[in-house]
Amino acid sequence: MKILVVNGPNINMLGVREPEIYGRETYADLVAAIQQHAQKIGAEVVCVQSNHEGEIVAWIQQALGVYDGIVINPAAYTHTSVAILDALKAVNLPAIEVHISDVNTREAFRRISYPAMACRKVIAGKGFWGYCEAMEDLQLIIDH
């Protein structure tokens, strides 16, 4: 199983940005945790991060025929990007949206997710573990 993990804007600032919400672990720590869990479940994973919407759209489009599923944390683009939604719909790969914080307990605007409309599930508020759970869920979806 090959999974593309896409992270949106400011995820590269983990450990610095609002540590009371996102914790002190860094983006490198997140990638290491994802890679370690992928190895444990026998998945191949590629992690990418961008602060640019078009680059995220391109990665999603390029996933078609290469990856079996997508784990995506669109970050701030969650609440604004019809382009990411359309890319996910276009490739029609199983996708799961992940958020490190519990977006449902934060500002009201964070409760709106465009990409979620093309995802099988949204996992929020579980920290880095949310990515691991998403990979396991994708494995169940892909194996059936």
Burial degree of 72 (CB within 10 A; 0-12, 13-18, 19+): buried
Q: Give dist(CA 112, CA 94) in Å, integer.
A: 20
DSSP 8-state symbol, 140: H
**What six digits make up the tokens of 53?**
């919407």
In this structure, the number of other CB atoms found within 10 A of the CB of residue 21 comes to 10
Does the annotation mark 144 as catalytic? no
- Torsion of Cα atoms, 49 then 98 then 59 then 94, to 10°: 160
Active site (annotated) includes residue 79:
no
Q: Find the catalytic residue in 22, 77, 114, 131.
A: 22
β-bridge mates for residue 69, sequence order: 3
Out of 77, 99, 114, 131, which one is annotated catalytic? 99
Active-site residues, by number, are 22, 99
